[in-house]
């Protein structure tokens, strides 16, 4: 779902009962897909939220340069540069097949 314009993965949803004159509310705890920030949202139960389409694709590492890699999508054969998280930098090598997330024109290696 989108919170403050950032695509997020929902971690926890809890509901509260309506008060005497209020509506039931949902409390949503989520984590940003790209920035990793924890976000909270409280909304009435009848609110609509935006949900972006998130694709998980397969790619092959063509070359490694510092903290980024050149990746080729295995279904469309498109090539592009993508940043590598620090914890994966020492584990990747040329020719490896990995999964990456794509949504709203942005990409990230799946962790």
Q: Concatenate the DSSP letters of all residues of the chain into one string.
A: -EETTEEEEEEEEEEE---SS---EEEEEEEETTT--EEEEEEETT--------EEEEEEEEEEETTEEEEEETTT--EEEEE--HHHHTT--TT-EEEEEEETTEEEE--
pLDDT band, residue 84 (cuts 50/70/90)? very high
Residue 85 has pLDDT above 80, yes or no: yes
Q: Catalogue all structural domains in the chain, each as residue range(s) with its CATH number.
A: 2-44 (2.30.30.30), 55-109 (2.40.50.140)
CB 55 within 8 A of CB 35: no
* Tokens 């509260």 belong to residue: 16
* Per-residue pLDDT tens over the stretch 2-59: 999 999 999 999 998 877 777 889 999 999 999 999 999 999 888 899 999 999 999 9
* Tokens 């989520």 belong to residue: 30
pLDDT band, residue 69 (cuts 50/70/90)? very high
Q: What's the pLDDT at 16?
A: 87
CB 32 within 8 A of CB 52: no
User: Among 25, 37, 23, 32, which Cα is nearest to 1's?
Assistant: 32
Structure tokens given for 86:
């620090």
């Amino acid at each position: 779902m989108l919170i403050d314009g950032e695509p997020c993965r929902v971690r926890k949803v809890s509901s509260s009962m309506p008060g005497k004159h209020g509506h039931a509310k949902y409390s949503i705890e989520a984590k940003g897909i790209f920035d990793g920030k924890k976000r909270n949202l409280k909304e009435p139960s009848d609110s609509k939220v935006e949900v972006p389409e998130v694709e998980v694709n397969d790619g092959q590492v063509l070359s490694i340069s510092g903290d980024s890699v050149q990746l080729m999508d295995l279904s469309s054969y498109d090539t592009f540069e993508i940043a590598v998280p620090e914890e994966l930098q020492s584990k990747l090598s040329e020719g490896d097949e990995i999964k990456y997330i794509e949504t709203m024109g942005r990409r990230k290696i799946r962790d």
